[in-house]
Each structure stands twice: as structure tokens, then as C-alpha cells.
Amino acid sequence: MAVDVTVPSLGESIQEVQVSAWLKQPGESVALDEPLIELESDKATVEVPAPAAGVIIEIVADVGAVLKVGDVLARIDTAAKATAAPPAPAQAATGEAPAAPPASTGEPHVMPAARRVLAERGLAADQVKGTGPAGRVLKEDAERAQGGPSAAPPAPKPAAAPPPPAFTGERNTRTMRMSPIRRKIAERLVQSQQNAALLTTFNEIDLTRAKAMRAEHQEAFQARYGTKLGYMSFFVKAAVEALQLVPEINARIEGDAVVYHDYCDIGIAVGGGKGLVVPVIRNAERLGFGELELAIGDFARRAQANKLDLDELQGGTFTISNGGVYGSLMSTPIINPPQSGVLGLHAIQDRPVAVDGQVVIRPMMYVALTYDHRLVDGRESVAFLKHIKQCVEQPERLLLKV
């Protein structure tokens, strides 16, 4: 029965190999797992063992051939016998010793790996005794050989590290169908990447004055509205001001037209019980700090309980995503199509900054604006973030609308 010898898988990153040498020839017998061929990849040279004992009846791939995993190298007949060796010469009747066979005038066959070692040591092939099949000079033979006076002795090989112990624990996998909301999130994110020219610009904001304002008015704010004054309302108010300054970021592309919105429906990304959701604050331009904080707190509670209505998750004109609540220091948020912009907020950290020629410690936050470059140019995106920065760093501007 004929058995195919094929190119084995040598690793996920290796797709092609080259035949560097055959260690057996047609008609020769081979034992199970005996080295049969040398293959070279872009990472290493490996020997391929015989998959079965028998006789090589065909070599399919010549030396130098470039092959892929699974291609046939040779075929072995597991039932055939090797070609018989020629009979030994008979002794002379007078009892004389048999004549010695004629000396070979050809150079011994040198394997490619051995040839490189010989070249490095300045050795000729006839200075090395081959121990491979049919006298082939193997890499090990070349490494054992000693060079002439000008050849440097081979460097001692470092002791091989013991192989790591085999892992004996369980390696389980689980397959679960994606939830509908996760499938929708995946669909929208891919849609955003495929249908928009996304670009992100960054800035940083000093929250010293916003932090002081929160501390000064927190007690009175809670007494009036029944909720804490957070930073998100500062950024929603600042975003409304900036969207009115740069209306392209509050617009969407529809075919070959641009639809501008004269209102600001701000989506607030919050973590829900089944994934990230983006409920929308309608007409945020009409709301004060208290109304914004109440709306944001209500969204967060109902998102955790999966109680948001479908219409609350649709129709936003701009989105704010606060990865800072999870500790994110920097990110590039992805637009929620068909919107043209999303503002990413990040963790507040005390960092040294230069103020009036002095190094001081301030509560700083990196902010990122991802925008659709088909509609918004770099100048407009930078102007938008600078206005956000100015409004939050000088929160009185939000009251004066300047």
C-alpha cells in the first residue's frame, strides 16, 4: 500500500516551506519515524520523519521546490522490499584478499545546513567524514570537525534548558450565542468603521475650577435636586455650546446631502446589564445642570435593570462616552452612525503641569473627539475640543454663554 508523505504544519505563521535536501532516495528502505527530508522555512530547518516503514517508490518534490502545508513530498510502499545490494566480490582461489573497490573521485554529498557550518569554519567537504545515509555530511558532522590553523574552534554550545513541564490542567471552551444587544452593538460598530472616514483628535482639561465649584455648591445642589452634581453635566453643557459653534459635528450625511440639526439630542453611553447602551437626552440645550444630572442618573439606574425603552436609545445627534469611570486613561471612541462625532472622556488624574512658569499638581483629564472626516475638517474638530476645554476649565462661561 502506498502512503503519501506530506508537508506537516510547522506553526500558524508558517505557510510555505522549501525542500532543502532529501535524506533518502527512491528504492531505499525507510523505518517508521526515520528522517526522510529536510525542509526550510523562514524561521528554521526541520527534518520530516517517515510516516510509515517501507520503501520509497517516488519523490514528488525536488530540492528547491516551494510547497505549502499538505502538499505531497514523496510516496512510500509499505509492502515493497528495498533494492538488493550488489554482491560482494569473490575471493581469489589462491586466498588473496579481494581487491579494494575503486576510490570515489567525487566530493561527498553535503547537506545545506552542514555546508553553512563548513563555510563558517573554513573547512572543505573532503576534510569531514559524513555519518549520514550514503555518507552524507550532516550538520552534526560539520560541527564536530576541527578546522585548520586559521580556523577558529567552534564555540561551546550552551546547555539546553530543560523543557517546561507539560500542562496537565483542564483547557475547556464554551460557546454561547451573542445576545441581541451585543449583536446590534457589533453591527453598528462595523457599520461605523466601514461607512465613515473616522479620525480622532485629543486635548486635555484642567478640572481645578470645576472641582472647586462642585465642592462649594454640592450640598445646596443635592438639597434642591435630590442628586449629586457630577462632572457629566459640565461636559453636556459644554458640548451643547461647542455643537452650536461647530454645527457640522451635530449634522449627518444623507446621500449627497448634509442634514443639520438645530437641536442637541445628546446620547450618554452607559454600561447596562447586557452591554453598553446609549440613551438620549432630548433637547439638551434647554436643560440646566439639575435636569441633566437627574436624567443621567435615571438612565444609569434603568440601564442596569434593563428597563430602558427602545425609543430612548434612538435618534441622538451626538454622543458622549465616559470611559474614565472604568479607569481608561486614553481611547479613540467610535461614532454611533449616522452621527458625525463622539466625545470620549477619561479618568481624572492628578498630574504635574506648568502654570505661569511653575510646575503644579492639577486634576487633569484627557478628552478625545472622533469625527467623520467626510463632513468635519481638522480645524473644526480642534476648535470644538478647544471650546469644550475652555467651558469646563472656566465653568462660569456655561452660565454666561461666552
Active site residues: 373, 377
Cis preceding linkage at 395, omega within 30: no
Cα 312 to Cα 335: distance, rounded to the nearest angstrom: 18
262 and 289 Cβ atoms separated by less than 8 Å: no
Place of cell 441581541: 180
CB 317 within 8 A of CB 265: yes
306 touches 276 (CB < 8 A): no
- Calculate the CA 255 to chain-centre distance: 34
Burial class (CB in 10 A: 0-12, 13-18, 19+), 30: buried
For 296-357, list the strands marked E by DSSP: 318-322, 341-355
Cell numbers 522549501: residue: 18
Cα Dmax for the chain: 128
How far apart, in whole angstroms, are the C-alpha atoms of residue 330 and residue 344?
9
Please answer whether residues 336 and 278 qualify as being in contact, where contact means their C-beta atoms are separated by less than 8 angstroms: yes
Q: Are 18 and 61 in contact (CB under 8 A)?
A: no
Task: Give CA–CA dist 325/232, Å, rounded.
Answer: 11
Orientation of helix 208-225 relative to helix 289-304, angle to 10°: 80
